[in-house]
Structure 1
Amino acid sequence: MKRREGRKNVKKGAPKWMVTYSDMVTLILVFFILLFSMSQIDAAKFEAISESFKNRMIFDFFPSPVPMDNPTENTSTEEKGQTTNEFDMPVNDDKKSDSDTAEDSLSNLMDEVEAYLDEHSLNHVISANRSERGVELVLQDSILFDSGEADILPSAHPFLTKVGNLLSQINNDIKVEGHTDDVPMSSYRYPSNWELSGARASSVVRLLVEENNLDEDRFSIAGYSDTKPLVPNDSASNRSKNRRVEIVILEESYKES
């Protein structure tokens, strides 16, 4: 009897060299994927972030780890129509904000008004103050009107013209307020202090607008009668202080409550 031949063990699967080859192909694929992903970097943001890091004090003595040369085409944020935040674009401290510019304008106006009052010795009838509302010019009624009237006296025109010239140089809104004392008012034209205070505020606005060609939309008026006295109405001197017109050049950020 013939001896049965044993089966030969046949090795199955990929050759050993295939494993190494597969690893190499995989690594190459990953490498090209990384190259592709880097090629999609937003050029504007990449440059802005790099500049932001360079401007931080912590890196003052070290070179920026982010290269300035961009692998992609340079594209400015203006061309893309994109806006940036503080991190995207470094803040330029040298440039003044709009609020700072408005603040300077009111400060200059305040200085010019005070200089005018000193030059013409009007401090006893006109005062200029700075408040949270803005610049407040308080004019006693004696310089503006005859008793019980709302027609502006000629002697008040030079100062109101000066105010109008200053207002033409800024864009702030203006509120003009009329105030009276607590002595009852009764006439054909002004049945009460309410009508008188409102008419006086209106007369001031009309002169400012007409003499200086100012935009009417900037103005508002209010007549408060005797409801907002500066001092108690207990003497002739105090009543004189309460009879006034206030011209308020409003802060741009101020909102009426």
Structure 2
Amino acid sequence: MSRKKRHSHEEHIDETWLIPYADLLTLLLALFIVLFASSQIDAKKLGDMRQGFNAIFSGNVGVMNQSSTIAGNSPNTTDIPNGGAQDPGKITDARNEALQLMQLQRDLDKYIQQNNLHETLTTTLTGDGLMITIGEVAIFPSGSAELLPEARKMVGEISKMIIAQPQKVTIAGHTDNIPIHTREFPSNWDLSTKRSLNFMKLLLENSKLNPAQFNATGYGEFRPVATNDTAEGRQRNRRVEVEAGKRLRE
């Protein structure tokens, strides 16, 4: 009786899917290379982002509340070489500064809401710091640099909130384009400068603030935020801005 030979049968595994998969990976790699080559990377903005908000996110800190306003395309003052090593101490400082500014904005937004000051007091978080904008109607009589009596309470509250902020603080006065010609104020520039100076002096009545971190300036009608062709626009332009910026560096 003849024996049938048993032939070993090797199971064949279909590996044809690897070819299109490898092609797909190659195409994706090529796409990323093209995108990277065609992009323009701003080293300053990247460095500022690394030192600030990215540091916050890496530290598991919650994002800003919904009432916060972020303004983009602001100039940066930190210059980090692209790809260079970063000082861990500077990263920590940048993170702490950003956290303090965010907390200051939350405190101010709460104060604004509690006192129904939305029309006269606003906050804007920018790449350089926190901008606090106060409308003229809440702090000065028309054509005057003497603060209204009721403005003292609001300015006092602001001074309390910025005590814990180790940043430089710049106060800037602004006017509309309606000319002023008085003995005290020959021009809008004089009026805006005197207003910012008086506002700063009132802030510094709080002895816990460091005067070395403050400065005041006036821009007259030359930096409007709205048109001067309407009464509403001119009212928006008459304002004082308080910018709590980054800490003064040695």
Match of 1:201 among 196, 202, 205: 196
Match of 2:97 among 102, 123, 136: 102
Q: Decide whether the 8 Å contact of 2:167 with 2:248 is kept in 1.
A: no
SS of the residue corresponding to residue 188 of structure 1 reads: coil
Amino acid at match of 2:219: Y
Q: Decide whether the 8 Å contact of 2:132 with 2:241 is kept in 1.
A: yes
Deviation at 1:159, TM superposition (A): 1.6
| Structure with the greater alpha carbon radius of gyration | 1
Q: Which residue of 1 aligns with 2:223?
A: 228
Amino acid at match of 2:136: D
How far apart are the structure 2 equivalents of 1:212 and 1:108?
22
Structure 1 residue runs without a partner (length 5+): 1-85
Q: Which residue of 2 aligns with 1:44?
A: none
Question: Relative to 1, partners in 2 of residues 1:138 and 1:206: Cα closer, same or farther, differing over 3 Å?
Answer: same
Deviation at 1:143, TM superposition (A): 0.5
1:182 equivalenced with 2:163 (yes/no): no
SS of the residue corresponding to residue 239 of structure 1 reads: helix
Deviation at 1:213, TM superposition (A): 4.0
Q: Which residue of 1 aligns with 2:119?
A: 124
TM-score (normalizing by structure 2): 0.62
Amino acid at match of 1:138: T
Deviation at 1:247, TM superposition (A): 0.3
Match of 2:150 among 146, 155, 170: 155
Total equivalences in the alignment: 162
How far apart are the structure 2 equivalents of 1:212 and 1:135?
22
Q: Decide whether the 8 Å contact of 1:178 with 1:222 is kept in 2.
A: yes
Give the 5 Å matches for 1:80-91.
none
Once the two structures are aligned, what percentage of the paired residues are identical? Answer: 26
How far apart are the structure 2 equivalents of 1:213 and 1:153?
23
Structure 2 residue runs without a partner (length 5+): 1-84
Q: Decide whether the 8 Å contact of 2:168 with 2:248 is kept in 1.
A: no
Q: Which residue of 2 aligns with 1:136?
A: 131
CA RMSD of aligned residues (A): 2.0
Deviation at 1:252, TM superposition (A): 3.1
| Structure 1 outlier segments of 4+, above 3 Å | none
Superimposed CA distance per residue, residues 192-244 of structure 1 (whole angstroms, 9 cap, x where no aligned partner): 10100000000110001123442211111111000000011011111000000
TM-score (normalizing by structure 1): 0.60
